[in-house]
Amino acid sequence: MLSDRIKQARQRIGLSQQQIADKMGVSKTAVFKWECGHYEPKNLDILANILSVNLAWLREGRGKPFPTHTTGVPAVIDIAPYNQDETQVCLYPSIEMAGYAHSKQPYGQHCKKFSLSTELLARKKISPEMVVCFPVRDNSMDPIIPHGTIFAVDLNRTNIIDGNLYLIKQNHQYRIRKLYSMPYDEVRLHAYNKEEYQDEYVSVKHIVIVGRIFYYAVGL
pLDDT for res 75: 36
Mapped onto helix, strand or coil, the DSSP state of residue 186 is strand
Q: Identify the sign of the CA torsion 183, 185, 190, 196.
A: negative
pLDDT > 70? residue 214: yes
Query: Which of 61, 165, 170, 152 is CA-nearest to residue 115?
Result: 152
Give the pLDDT of residue 107: 42
**Burial class of residue 4 in the structure, from the number of CB atoms within 10 Å of its CB (0-12 exposed, 13-18 middle, 19+ buried):** exposed
Q: Is the dihedral of CA 59, 192, 136, 138 positive or negative?
A: negative
CA torsion sign for 190, 44, 218, 107 is negative
- pLDDT for 160-210, tens place per residue? 999 999 999 998 888 999 999 999 999 999 998 888 999 999 999 999 999
What's the whole-number mean pLDDT along residues 6-14? 80
CA distance 50 to 33: 18
CATH homologous superfamily of 76-217: Umud Fragment, subunit A (2.10.109.10)
Q: What is the average pLDDT score of the chain? A: 81
**Does the reported pTM lie above 0.75?**
no
Q: Does residue 58 or residue 148 have the better pLDDT?
A: 58
Q: 165-170 and 112-117 as β-strands: parallel, antiparallel, unpaired?
A: unpaired
Percent of the chain with pLDDT over 90: 27
Position 218 confidence tier, pLDDT thresholds 50, 70, 90: low
Please tell me the predicted confidence (pLDDT) of residue 186: 96
- CATH of the domain spanning 2-60: 1.10.260.40
Q: Where are the domains of the chain?
A: 2-60, 76-217
**Inter-CA distances, 89 with 53, 83, 197, 206, Å:** 17, 13, 31, 30
Q: How much of the chain, in percent, has pLDDT values that exceed 70?
A: 83
Say if residues 45 and 24 touch (Cβ distance below 8 Å). Answer: no
pLDDT in tens, 20-62: 888 887 889 999 999 998 888 887 888 888 887 888 888 888 8
